[in-house]
Every structure is written in C-alpha cells, then in structure tokens.
Amino acid sequence: MLIRIDSDSPAAIFDQVAASVRSDIVAGRLSAGDRLPPAREVAAALDINVHTVLRAYQQLRDEGLLDLRRGRGAVVSASAAPLADLAGDIQRLVARAAALGVSPTTLASIVKETTP
C-alpha cells in the first residue's frame, strides 16, 4: 500500500491520506481484513504528524471503511467490500461525465447533492 500526498494541494493532508486509502479500497488493492500500517509508520514515511494520520484513519472509521482496535490497529472493515464492486460503475460515470464536458468538481457536487 502506497499512501500519496501532494504538499502543493489545497486539500488538507489528513483528507489526502484518507482519499489515498479510500482509492486503494475502491481499486481492490485493499480488501476486508487487510491491516493498514501503524499511524506512526505512515507519519514517519510521509514526514507528517502522527495525529494527521490518526485523523485520516478516524475519518475512514466514521465512514465505515475501517475498524480501529487497540492492539490491532486499523483494519479494513467488511462494509468496505461494496466499494470495490462500485469501481467499474464509478469509472464509467467519470468517463461519461468527461465525454460530456462535466468537470470532476461539478460531478462530485452533483453526486454529493444526490445522496439520500
């Protein structure tokens, strides 16, 4: 697993860490039961604060994608499995939006507004 951040991005670093993990789940590189590296290791590798990584992990926990357990660390939850099933649908939606000239920002806004 490779967590990616862009120091030039306006997005908060914890959001970038969470997005990177989320992307790995959607792509099938992470699946239910997989353990994420300890927050300290991720922080050291990315040269960021450990609390930033913990905040990203907590965000993913709040989304139902991770289970955080003392002694076991961060584990991809079983409820994350449907995300990988949606990967093809998401790719087709993004490609269709691009073909229609819809920007990623506009598409994200539309999806956000359409959620029940």
Give the pLDDT of the chain (116 residues) as one tens digit per residue. Answer: 789 899 899 999 999 999 999 999 988 899 999 999 999 999 999 999 999 999 999 999 999 999 998 888 899 999 988 887 888 888 899 999 999 999 999 998 998 898 77
Single-letter amino acid code for the residue at 105: T
pTM score, two decimals?
0.79
38: tokens are: 């300890």
Single-letter amino acid code for the residue at 64: G
Tell me the C-alpha distance between 6 and 4, whole Å. 7
**pLDDT for residue 88:** 83
Torsion angle of alpha carbons 53, 23, 83, 34, nearest 10°? -60
Measured N-to-C along each axis, helices 13-26 and 81-99 cross at an angle, to the nearest 10 degrees, of 100
